Amino acid sequence: MPTIPDWFVEELLARTDIVTLIEPRVSLKKSGTNYSACCPFHNEKTPSFVIFSRNQNFHCFGCGAHGDAITFLRQIDGMGYVEAIETLASRAGLPMPEDSESQKQERGQRQGLLKATQEASLFYQKSWKNNEFAAIASDYLKNRGLQGQTAKHYQMGVAPTGRDGLYKSLEKTFSLPTLLNAGLVLQEDSGSVRDRFRARVIFPIRDKRGQVLGFGGRTLQKDGQPKYLNSPETPLFHKGHELYGLYEALLQPLPKSGLIVVEGYMDVVMLYQHGIPNVVASLGTACTREQIKKLFKLTPHITFCFDGDNAGKKAAERALSNVLPELEDGFTVHFLLLPEGHDPDSYVREKGKEAFLTAQKQAMPLNDFLFEGAARDLVLQSPEDKVIFVQNAQKQIDLIRPGLFKNLLLQELSKRAQISTDWIAKPESTGQVAATPSRRKAEPIGSVSLVDRIMAMLLKDATLALQIPVELMPLMEPYSACILKLQEDRITDTLGFVHNWPNPKEQALMLGLHRRPMSVNAAGMRQEFEDALKRLTRSRLTEEADILLKKAANATLSVEEKRILAGLLQERANSN
């Protein structure tokens, strides 16, 4: 991702009126100096979405959505950080900052690859004419009920049977390294070049802007292997990140039910043909976490639709495991397992649109699917089976971030197992340093806590994060995970880091801190940072020593505890 300087982002936000940005999307009502509306990010009847004109932010008091103009574009359109910046810059008439030479080279290479894949897509589409294999492919698709208009909508094409038809068509326009890097051709040991896709129906895989990133190709030969062939991993195409049909699904506003995720290309195109356009495919694999992250940026509501056979059930279970870590309060996920012998393509052709939409409405909610899976092959009448059931369910629930939904699942687990909630493990943080309940609140500096002040300084100079020892992390909540990420990735673009942070509440806190002006220069800030760490260290030492001193007043300390206490007291004395 190109590095965009903070000064440019700040200048861009200063030139952007968030009210005029949001108004075309949402019906606003003026309320004093602010504006209110029904939230565009969740369903509600009473307006709880507010735009604050003075600080140019929005906040929803219903779902917690919060941010500035960049955040709004990212959440409403699913844009990446750079894409949102480019959109606002174009809107404001600001030229983007010049890239470094390496960035210019990287961007130039990407543009060259995109031109090559686009030309390849046009070649495949034109190959429907004057092509012997095209006639076979056309008959096959017609027999499956596919209409020409549907194939055109998805820019489907055919790869001829010849060895190098695509290569011969493109070799005068593009260099061989470009065609190889785009995954369009293969070079054999002898040096000869052949097309990657031959005698296949071609499905272009596009991003949400309509750019062709790669292809999927289906063979029509009974013994042809593999049945479906995808583009290899390239600088453009990453199979675990992309979703087939995403561009087409976003050509119209998504319905309240959100997006339907299926497995196959034909599932997508046939559902569209039957009047269900909000469908994407996971490229033949169980939906990955990266794909799920992309989906949740576009909608809080996902329905996974799989075949009713054993393979479909296993795919649904893998999707469950991948979706759980990405869940947040307000997200909904359903699982639709079709009758055995059916996939979405065959089901909608046989039963029709209304039957499919009825089945979608009756899809199993995530909680029921999770608990049914945990109880599979168990009777739940014996204590032994209940123990296994609780253990199975908790392994899944532990993947979910702390929040209301996680707590409700744990309560439901205790009811289903018919045991007290005391026997159900309480939610723990997922990979983050947990805040200790007994910790004191950080002492304030003016109107900002000590921890907030430290985080504000880190957002001005992220290299300071390397000075924070791991034993102070529990005191740095809610920023512990953020600081660990700054340390691990050696972040320099802190504003980009904040805009890409996945937790909306932490992101909102950091955005507020980033905008706070610093009253000292760089040298003064470093000194203040060191002083703040010393104060935090003294707080930690005092608290840990106090715990042992209180214990010593009522009981005899062990030899190890005495050693630790002596060390803490000595360390505290040295820190003063």
* Distance (Å, whole) CA 147 – CA 156: 11
Which of 230, 257, 288 finishes a domain?
230
Burial class (CB in 10 A: 0-12, 13-18, 19+), 24: exposed
Q: Do 569 and 455 have their domain in common? A: yes
What is the pLDDT, as a whole number, of residue 197?
Answer: 96
Q: What is the dihedral of CA 255, 256, 261, 267, to 10 degrees?
A: -40
Q: Give a yes or no: residue 517 inside a domain.
A: yes
Q: Do 450 and 565 have their domain in common? A: yes
What is the pLDDT, as a whole number, of residue 427?
Answer: 46
Say which CATH number the domain at 311 has: 3.40.1360.10
Helix, strand, or coil (residue 389) = helix
* Distance (Å, whole) CA 298 – CA 254: 9
What is the pLDDT, as a whole number, of residue 300?
Answer: 83
Which of 200, 230, 260 finishes a domain?
230
Q: Do 124 and 218 have their domain in common? A: yes
Say which CATH number the domain at 165 has: 3.90.980.10
Instruction: Give the CA radius of gyration of the chain.
Output: 28
* Distance (Å, whole) CA 146 – CA 428: 50
Tokens of 457: 């300084």
Q: Give a yes or no: residue 356 inside a domain.
A: yes
Distances (CA, A) of 23 to 33, 251, 460: 15, 20, 32
| DSSP character at residue 254 | P
Q: Do 455 and 474 have their domain in common? A: yes
* Distance (Å, whole) CA 334 – CA 360: 8
Q: Return the amino acid letter for 3.
A: T
Say which CATH number the domain at 519 has: 1.10.860.10
Phi first, then psi, for residue 361 (nearest 5°) are: -65, -25
What is the pLDDT, as a whole number, of residue 170?
Answer: 97
Bond before 226 cis per omega within 30 degrees? yes
* Distance (Å, whole) CA 138 – CA 147: 10
Tokens of 241: 């990140």
Q: Do 534 and 411 have their domain in common? A: no
Q: How many domains does the chain have?
A: 5
Q: Do 272 and 326 have their domain in common? A: yes
Tokens of 33: 């100096």
What is the pLDDT, as a whole number, of residue 479?
Answer: 86
Judge whether 296 and 331 are in contact, CB under 8 Å.
Answer: yes
Q: Give a yes or no: residue 430 inside a domain.
A: no
- What is the residue whose two structure tokens read 């469950």? 320
| Torsion 564-565-566-570 (CA) sign | positive
Q: Do 406 and 503 have their domain in common? A: no
| pLDDT less than 50: residues of the chain | 1, 427-447
Q: Do 221 and 323 have their domain in common? A: no
Q: Do 225 and 109 have their domain in common? A: yes
Tokens of 432: 């983050």
- How would you classify the pairing of strands 212-219 and 200-206? antiparallel
Q: Do 293 and 345 have their domain in common? A: yes
Which of 57, 92, 127 finishes a domain?
92
Give pLDDT tens digits for 412-424: 999 999 988 777 7
Q: Give a yes or no: residue 509 inside a domain.
A: yes
Judge whether 300 and 42 are in contact, CB under 8 Å.
Answer: yes
Structural domain of 327: 246-362
- Starting at the earlier edge strand, list the strands of the sheet with 66-67: 29-31, 34-37, 49-52, 57-60, 66-67
Q: Do 144 and 53 have their domain in common? A: no
What is the pLDDT, as a whole number, of residue 368?
Answer: 97
